[in-house]
């Protein structure tokens, strides 16, 4: 997870990253955010949840 976000982070433009994970324990979600994710969606997810996460991630732009 960190390797991919670091590689993306080398790009000067901010690329929003949405994590999709079945592990929804607070510690795991915090790891996603600490690794550079902008938002997350717990699996299984509803379409509305994914859309909301994408909107949240792109607000950073």
Identify the pLDDT of residue 55. Answer: 92
Residues 6 or more apart in contact with residue 22 via CB below 8 angstroms: 42, 43
**Domains along the chain with CATH numbers:** 2-59 (3.40.50.2300)
pTM for this structure?
0.62
Category of 50 on φ-ψ map: left (φ > 0), alpha (ψ -120 to 50) or beta: alpha
Low-confidence spans in the chain with pLDDT less than 50: none
Say how far apart CA 44 and CA 52 lie, in whole Å. Answer: 15
Collapsed DSSP state (helix, strand, coil) of residue 3: helix
Identify the pLDDT of residue 7. Answer: 66
Identify the pLDDT of residue 6. Answer: 66
Q: Name the nearest CA neighbour of 30 among 3, 1, 55.
A: 1
Say how far apart CA 3 and CA 6 lie, in whole Å. Answer: 5
């Amino acid at each position: 997870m960190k390797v991919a976000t670091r590689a993306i982070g080398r790009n000067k433009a901010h690329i929003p990253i949405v994590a999709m994970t079945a592990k929804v324990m607070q510690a795991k979600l915090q790891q996603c955010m600490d690794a550079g994710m902008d938002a997350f969606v717990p699996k299984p997810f509803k379409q509305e949840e994914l859309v909301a996460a994408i909107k949240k991630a792109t607000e950073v732009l």
